[in-house]
């Protein structure tokens, strides 16, 4: 199967060579640097990816690793991207040009640019826009296959939430900006393999203690997903941190590096770059209201409906009971039998026009008739209260955090299996096989 992977490439090269004058010296246009199942990675792809990664490192003012280390890291990432896009193709996941253009337009809009301006900005950075476009297509495809193969299978139970909240460390509302170095071990690693990885992590900790830059070491040595960003994990809530980091990060001082941390994925070092927030209570103001809804119908047109609403307003202000008129006239089946009572509701439950009108009213006030997409309303605000929703908020956040952790752990395992099952070989400049490429440590676990 893999022979057909680069047969077309070889045939094209041979055809081009036959078209050249017989006296001309061979010219290398492109070459295969890796075979991945029935696909290939070309030298030109590697060069583009190296250029993008170099640009990102310069933007972050991270010292550039050696060319050999950078190329190894980038090729490793390309291989993992390729096995995932191949899995997506098997699953029938495609991103057509129309959908890709919508994604690019959204990215441009987030950067306050038109799509044309975004393309020009990419070119000014010295990058090939068409190559960047295809890279974004791959990222969207990988996101879709991950959602289908991993995220959709993750479930969070009430018991999971209870156990999560029973750990005080998981109640941390503070946000942390961490950088991480991972020395990965393969799935099912032997004790000798784990000890070798641990020794390497301890050696890196000694180098950091002697003053070497964390970001530079991460770029050169880390097997983590953020290696080429200097290990930067960006801002995350304490509850959303990987489990192995969650109990350690709150104890670190800004700028401090942890001791070596052990997980199934390997050995980690984390540095606390910054910390913010934490301890905020969650409250919401709820409004208890009533309403009468009148809708136009075959017998009563829009003008007649408004006229009846105005008549009911007069009767209410004259002292008639809101409950009685709602039960008799309201067209809202959900509240009619309760006298128009809507109960205590937080902001965002009602249609925006209805919510705006309620927010403008004082308790006890009856509105003039006003319209929404549902018809004509008369509303009365009965009461307001401020309620502490910290417990509800914590449970919702806990459920989200558990889901993210479970999805990340399952993704790690899925990606390792995918890479273990893939046929990967690296090729030298003359096309010879260098060595079968082992599953990459760089992706063995995405602890961050």
Reported as a single tens digit per residue, the pLDDT across 192-210 is 989 999 999 999 999 999 9
Q: Highest mean pLDDT: which of 149-153, 278-282, 340-344?
A: 340-344
CA distance 258 to 431: 44
Same domain, yes or no, for 329 and 373? yes
pLDDT at 28: 60
3-state secondary structure of 210: coil
Q: How confident is the model at residue 321 (pLDDT cuts 50, 70, 90)?
A: very high
Torsion of CA 232, 238, 242, 246, to 10 degrees: 110
Angle in degrees, CA 243, 205, 66, rounded to 5:
105
Same domain, yes or no, for 217 and 358? no
Task: Assess if residue 103 is contained within a domain.
Answer: no
Task: Assess if residue 338 is contained within a domain.
Answer: yes
Tens-place pLDDT, residues 214-230 = 998 999 899 888 888 88
In the chain, what percentage of residues exceed pLDDT 90?
A: 37
What is the pLDDT averaged over residues 61-73? 87
276: pLDDT strictly greater than 70:
yes
Inter-residue contact 271 to 179 (CB < 8 Å): yes
pLDDT at 20: 42
Tens-place pLDDT, residues 364-410 = 999 999 999 899 999 999 999 987 666 777 788 788 888 888 888 88
Same domain, yes or no, for 228 and 191? yes
40: pLDDT strictly greater than 90:
yes
Question: Regarding beta strands 433-436 and 424-427, do their DSSP bridges make them parallel or antiparallel, or are they unpaired?
Answer: antiparallel
pLDDT at 446: 37
Strand partners, 375: 372
pLDDT at 237: 80
Same domain, yes or no, for 194 and 301? no
Q: Which sign does the torsion angle of CA 355, 359, 363, 366 carry?
A: negative
Task: Assess if residue 302 is contained within a domain.
Answer: yes
Inter-residue contact 141 to 88 (CB < 8 Å): yes
Task: Assess if residue 24 is contained within a domain.
Answer: no
Task: Assess if residue 173 is contained within a domain.
Answer: yes
Residue count of the chain, please give it.
448
254: pLDDT strictly greater than 50:
yes
Question: What's the total number of domains in the chain?
Answer: 2
Same domain, yes or no, for 396 and 379? no
Q: Which of 388, 408, 442 is the last residue of a domain?
A: 388
Same domain, yes or no, for 304 and 352? yes
Find the range with the poorest average confidence among 124-128, 205-209, 290-294, 300-304: 124-128
16: pLDDT strictly greater than 50:
no
Task: Assess if residue 298 is contained within a domain.
Answer: yes
Task: Assess if residue 61 is contained within a domain.
Answer: no
Task: Assess if residue 227 is contained within a domain.
Answer: yes
Same domain, yes or no, for 291 and 266? no
5: pLDDT strictly greater than 70:
no
CA distance 292 to 309: 9
Q: Mark out the alpha helices in 290-347 (DSSP H runs).
A: 302-317, 322-329
Domain containing residue 341? 283-388
Inter-residue contact 283 to 388 (CB < 8 Å): yes
What is the pLDDT averaged over residues 84-104? 90
pLDDT at 278: 63
Same domain, yes or no, for 361 and 401? no
CATH code where residue 316 lies? 3.10.50.40
What is the pLDDT averaged over residues 39-58? 88
3-state secondary structure of 42: strand
Q: What average pLDDT does the structure give for the chain?
A: 84
Same domain, yes or no, for 370 and 405? no
Inter-residue contact 178 to 270 (CB < 8 Å): yes
Same domain, yes or no, for 308 and 241? no
Same domain, yes or no, for 182 and 247? yes
Same domain, yes or no, for 192 and 329? no
pLDDT at 79: 93
């Amino acid at each position: 199967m893999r022979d057909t992977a680069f047969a077309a490439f070889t045939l094209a090269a041979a055809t081009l060579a036959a078209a050249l004058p017989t006296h001309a010296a061979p010219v290398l246009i492109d070459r295969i640097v890796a075979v991945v199942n029935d696909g290939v990675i070309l030298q030109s792809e590697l060069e583009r990816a190296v250029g993008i990664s170099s640009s990102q490192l310069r933007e972050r003012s991270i010292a550039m690793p050696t060319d050999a280390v950078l190329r190894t890291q980038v090729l490793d990432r390309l291989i993992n991207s390729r096995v995932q896009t191949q899995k997506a193709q098997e699953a029938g996941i495609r991103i057509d040009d129309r959908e890709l253009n919508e994604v690019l337009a959204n990215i441009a809009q987030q950067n306050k640019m038109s799509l044309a301006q975004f393309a020009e900005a990419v070119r000014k950075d010295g990058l090939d826009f068409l190559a960047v476009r295809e890279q974004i297509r791959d990222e969207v495809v990988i996101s879709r296959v991950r959602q289908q193969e991993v995220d959709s299978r993750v479930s969070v139970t009430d018991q999971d939430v209870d156990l999560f909240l029973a750990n005080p460390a998981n109640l941390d509302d503070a946000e942390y900006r961490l950088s991480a170095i991972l020395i990965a071990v393969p799935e099912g690693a032997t004790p000798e393999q784990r000890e070798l990885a641990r020794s390497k992590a301890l050696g890196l900790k000694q180098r950091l203690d002697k003053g070497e830059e964390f970001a530079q070491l991460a770029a050169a040595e880390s097997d983590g997903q953020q290696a080429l960003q200097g290990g930067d994990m960006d801002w995350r809530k304490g509850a959303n941190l990987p489990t192995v980091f969650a109990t350690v990060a709150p104890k670190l001082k800004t700028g401090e590096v942890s001791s070596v941390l052990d997980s199934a994925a390997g050995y980690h070092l984390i540095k606390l770059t910054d910390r913010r927030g934490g301890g905020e209570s969650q409250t919401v103001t709820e409004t208890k209201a009533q309403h009468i809804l009148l809708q136009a119908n075959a017998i009563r047109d829009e003008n007649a409906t408004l006229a009846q609403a105005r008549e009911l307003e007069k009767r209410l202000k004259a002292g008639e009971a809101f409950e009685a008129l709602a039960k008799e006239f309201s067209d809202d089946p959900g509240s009619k039998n309760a006298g128009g009572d809507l109960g205590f509701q937080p902001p965002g439950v009602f249609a925006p026009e209805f919510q705006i009108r309620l927010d403008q009213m004082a308790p006890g006030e009856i509105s003039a008739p006003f319209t929404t997409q549902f018809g004509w309303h008369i509303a009365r605000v009965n009461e307001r209260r401020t309620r502490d929703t910290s417990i509800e908020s914590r449970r919702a956040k806990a459920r989200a955090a558990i889901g993210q952790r479970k999805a990340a752990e399952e993704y790690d395992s899925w990606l390792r299996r995918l890479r273990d099952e893939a046929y990967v070989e690296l090729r030298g400049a003359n096309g010879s096989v260098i060595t079968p490429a082992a599953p990459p440590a760089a992706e063995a676990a995405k602890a961050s």
